[in-house]
Amino acid sequence: MSATTPDHVDAIVIGAGISGLAAASELAQAGCRTIVLEKSRGIGGRMATRRVGAAVCDHGAQFFTVRTRAFGATVADAQAAGAVRPWCDGFSRLADAAAALESAGDGHARWCGTRGMTDLPKRLAAGLPENLVEIRTGVRAAAVGIVAGGVMVTLEAKEGEVPRVLGARGLILSCPVPQSLDLFAAGHALGALDGAAVETLRGIDYDPCFALMLVLDRPSQVPPPGGLQFASGPISWIGDNLQKGISTVPALTLHGSGDFSRERFDADPASVTAELESLAAAWIGGATIVDRSLQRWKFAQPRVIVPAPLVSPSATPPIACCGDAFKGPRVEGAACSGQATGRWMGRLLVDGR
């Protein structure tokens, strides 16, 4: 089936997580007309907040740090708008589930969204000028192709529908890197890309993560300020969404470690849920679990970080990959990578350098 005539913009950004939105913000500041494509119904990517029964739970990123000036400005704006706040200056740490608690607090602020972690990306999105940036949610990019004068992004179509195509002079891919490589492959673009850059991208992989959200009938045994970090063992984190202040009823978020989650990735969800609940029994205390939800993140956290803020597998047309696998990990690293990539692309599209 042939594709329809493409819409043309200056830039397309694939992914409306923190890095894609930060990139779109920089592109708008350069005056570039930009479309952001997001396959999910909502924005935020791995900064994800979900309602489970009567509770509200962050099930991806739990908190973020602010070490760089560039990200500090974004956070200061979001704080002024009431979207984010400091949570604490550290969490109780355990060497493993059986070890004694080490005291919380190292003097560095851990931040969170006021009503959930998605508040920060939502604030970034709200600040984007409507005349320059359009965010299309529920739209999955299916393939990326290179054509004369630019890029072509084919959108996933429902059965029987003609696939729509968007055209742009430049492209930023902010999804986890294996997904970006799949998009190049689907559009037969890999052969036209810089081989060394593609090799670098192929070297990036991610740990998976099971996130189990539990709604309790009474407060948990997680000590203040509501987070436990485990240095080793099957659980890496237990967060208390009531103490954090985003849920009005007691609710925990448990994260399986990378090894635990990889070994059981295709296991029966009910057995993974039962295992995590049993491992966390001491922190659930005597509470009864009144609701539960298990989420499986395939690409939770990168195992390899490329030292540059972006990798560009094509200079003409300009294409770049960004996100938390570049420059620095986690929320802050992703935001800084997105900012740097949007600035780079804006300069190329506006000044040609």
Ligand X SMILES: Cc1cc2nc3c(=O)[nH]c(=O)nc-3n(C[C@H](O)[C@H](O)[C@H](O)COP(=O)(O)OP(=O)(O)OC[C@H]3O[C@@H](n4cnc5c(N)ncnc54)[C@H](O)[C@@H]3O)c2cc1C
Q: Which residues bind ligand X (CB under 6 A)?
A: 14-20, 37-40, 45-47, 60-64, 140-141, 174-176, 179, 209, 211, 255, 297, 300-301, 323-324, 330-331, 334
Separation between Cα atoms, residue 90 and residue 84, nearest integer Å = 17
Report the nearest approach of ligand X to the CB of residue 238 (Å).
12
19: which DSSP letter? H
- Identify which of residues 32 and 43 has a Cβ nearer to ligand X in the complex: 43
CB of 166 or CB of 175, closer to ligand X = 175
Q: What is the distance between the alpha carbons of residues 308 and 311, in angstroms, rounded to a whole number? A: 7
Q: Minimum distance from CB of 38 to ligand X (Å)? A: 5
Cβ nearer to ligand X, comparing 138 with 224: 138
Supply 139's token pair.
């739209």
Cβ distance to ligand X smaller for residue 175 or 353: 175
Shortest gap between Cβ of 286 and ligand X (angstroms)?
27
Tally of CB atoms within 10 A around 82 = 11
The minimum distance between CB 167 and ligand X, in angstroms, equals: 16
| Residue 183, number of CB atoms within 10 A of its CB | 21
Kindly tell me which of 233 and 285 has the beta carbon lying closer to ligand X: 233
Q: How far is the CB of 174 from ligand X (least distance, A)?
A: 5
Minimum Å gap between C-beta 278 and ligand X is: 20
- Cβ atoms 232, 211 nearer than 8 A: no
- Least distance from C-beta 353 to ligand X, angstroms? 26
- Distance between CA 337 and CA 331 in Å, rounded? 10
Measured CA to CA, the distance from residue 114 to residue 132 in angstroms comes to 28
Give the pairing of strands 319-321 and 311-314.
Answer: antiparallel
Of 51 and 218, the one with the shorter C-beta distance to ligand X is 51
Question: Which residue, 47 or 284, is less far from ligand X as judged by CB?
Answer: 47
For the chain, the straight-line distance linking the first and the last C-alpha, in angstroms and rounded, comes to 38
Query: Could you write out the three-class secondary structure of 75-144?
Result: HHHHHHCCCEEEEECCCEEECCCCCCCECCCCCCCEEEECCCCCHHHHHHHHCCCCCCEEEEECCCEEEE
